Amino acid sequence: MHRARGGAPVTEPITRPGKIIAIHLSYASRADQRGRRPAAPSYFFKPASSVGVSGGTVERPAGTELLAFEGEIALVIGTTARHVSLADAWDHVGAVTASNDLGLYDLRANDKGSNVRSKGGDGYTPLGPELIDARTVDPAALRVRTWVNGELRQDDTTAGLIFPLAQLVADLSQHFTLEPGDVILTGTPAGSSVIVPGDVVEVEVDAPDAPGAPSSGRLVTTVTQGEVPFDGDLGSLPAVDDLQRTEAWGSREEAGLPPEEDTPTLTPELRAQLLEAPTAGLSAQLRKRGHHSCFIDGVAANLPGTKIVGTAKTLRFVPFREDLFRSHGGGYNAQKRAFDAVAEGEVIVIEARGDATTGTLGDILALRAQNRGAAGVVTDGGVRDFDAVAEIGLPVFSQGAHPSVLGRKHVPWDVDVTISCGGATVQPGDIIVGDGDGVIVIPPALAAEVAADAIAQEVEDAWIAEQVAAGHPVDGLFPLNAEWRARYEQATGAGKDQR
């Protein structure tokens, strides 16, 4: 049980905090729902003007559809905190109460994680109604529950947090001073979803095992419909897609979207076909379908004669900049995350802007990818420890060897995003095929028909080669004219299924 220590309780209503800091993702249940678990907490600010009170309203702006509730535990700082230790951090919390970290997913993509507009609307941070003295409760035994129109939608405890509450206080205090009255929103568990005008949301935080079972009471917010649309001449307009709908509602099913295809795009049968078909034949079939930019140019295999087939897991490097490398280059950066998370049969595809004058992976990361079952790596940059990587046996297509470290030219920036590699656009899940002729990118929807037609073309080309070897001229034979086509079908039985 947490031992009550110093600190100053907060008793006055919260009306205008100096700062409101919110965490992006903190509950295991929410992380599992989203399919991603952060290695460290990350935050965003909300304006003080977003504070609301119990019994108030929140407006869903005109022209939007994805206003979502997020029941959360709010911490109110009681005494100034700067560079406090994890052991002492809770002493600086004065009170605990309920909050609703409302967000408008229609604007979420436009803010790129800052949530300035999607989370900053007037009334988007209602707090209260009562304050719980932080000295009287165990921060590991708090509960948060949310009801919508009387139906319980969220029910979780701080035992389910990825990052303990005290860690958030200590972490933030090493970056800036937390002052009395500042509010920290500590994240929402699974169950957050979309609300519409007329809905009534209630959030309660309590400590059911503490003496007297202190509670914040129910924080009540009613949704209303706004009448004033956003002006596109002033800034970006609301926009939604299936990803935002899924994340706002909590699942594709709740959003009314059809379920994603459970069958993997790259089945064992399709993989076998793609291994059999040469990239030259596959690229010819793509060209017939109007795809002329499927080549990852300038790369060659570190293991002669190797062939790779797999789905793309993407990694993006941006040009080196000192401050960005300090913030993104160290620790558990995007490069390490990509190699730690690559799945069996995936190909890590790296955007290095065609710069061969620095390494984009080395032997340690190659070993990690091999242990994870990766099908290979494709990078339009260089490779460190080139011979050692080859000895490991991981197929790597690159611009060749270079001894320099990553920070010479690159900052590891992001994973699982659309990238450019060797002049080709690559999206996560695209199918990558590489052999002695090079590497190509196949849109998943075309892979099966492209593979089948490429193999059929290989059979036809082999028969044509036999005729040329027998002394026939290529004119009319390559490609087959009507006469030679008939002879080919008679000799091989090809075309019978079409008749």
Q: What's the pLDDT tens digit per position in 350-389?
A: 999 999 999 899 999 999 999 989 999 999 999 999 999 9
First to last CA, the chain: 79
Q: Where are the domains of the chain?
A: 20-249, 292-442, 452-498
Q: Report pLDDT for 339.
A: 92
> Average pLDDT of the chain?
89
Which of 36-45, 57-66, 355-364 is predicted with the least confidence, judged by mean pLDDT? 36-45
Place of tokens 């994680």: 113
Q: Report pLDDT for 255.
A: 86
Each residue's pLDDT tens digit, 402-429: 998 777 889 999 999 999 999 999 999 9
Q: Report pLDDT for 122.
A: 95
Residue 497's pLDDT band, with cuts at 50, 70 and 90, is very low
Indicate if the pLDDT at residue 7 is higher than 80: no
Residue 10's pLDDT band, with cuts at 50, 70 and 90, is low
68 or 484, higher pLDDT: 68
Residue 495's pLDDT band, with cuts at 50, 70 and 90, is low
Q: Beta strands of 368-456 (E only): which ranges?
A: 376-379, 396-398, 410-415, 419-421, 424-426, 431-435, 438-442
Nearest to 350 by CA among 291, 421, 410: 421
Each residue's pLDDT tens digit, 310-344: 999 999 999 999 888 888 888 888 899 999 889 88
pTM: 0.56
User: Percent of the chain beyond pLDDT 90?
Assistant: 59
Each residue's pLDDT tens digit, 266-306: 888 898 889 988 888 898 889 888 888 889 999 999 988 88
Q: Look at the domain 292-442 and name its fold.
A: Glucose Oxidase; domain 1 (3.50.30)
Distance of CA 12 to the CA centre of its chain: 40
Indicate if the pLDDT at residue 36 is higher than 80: no
Indicate if the pLDDT at residue 144 is higher than 90: yes
- C-alpha torsion angle, residues 70, 74, 80, 86 (rounded to 10): -90
Q: Report pLDDT for 21.
A: 97
| CATH of range 20-249; options 3.90.850.10, 3.20.10.10, 3.30.70.980, 3.65.10.10 | 3.90.850.10
User: Percent of the chain beyond pLDDT 70?
Assistant: 95
Indicate if the pLDDT at residue 35 is higher than 90: no
Indicate if the pLDDT at residue 8 is higher than 70: no
Determine the Cα–Cα distance for residues 202 and 222; give it in Å rounded to an integer: 9
Q: Report pLDDT for 226.
A: 92
Each residue's pLDDT tens digit, 84-116: 999 999 999 999 999 999 999 999 877 767 899
Q: Report pLDDT for 261.
A: 57
Residue 173's pLDDT band, with cuts at 50, 70 and 90, is very high
Indicate if the pLDDT at residue 56 is higher than 90: yes
Query: Could you tell me which residues come within 8 angstroms of residue 380 by beta carbon, excluding any fewer than 6 positions away?
Result: 296, 297, 298, 299, 350, 351, 352, 353, 354, 355, 398, 399, 421, 422
Q: Report pLDDT for 251.
A: 86
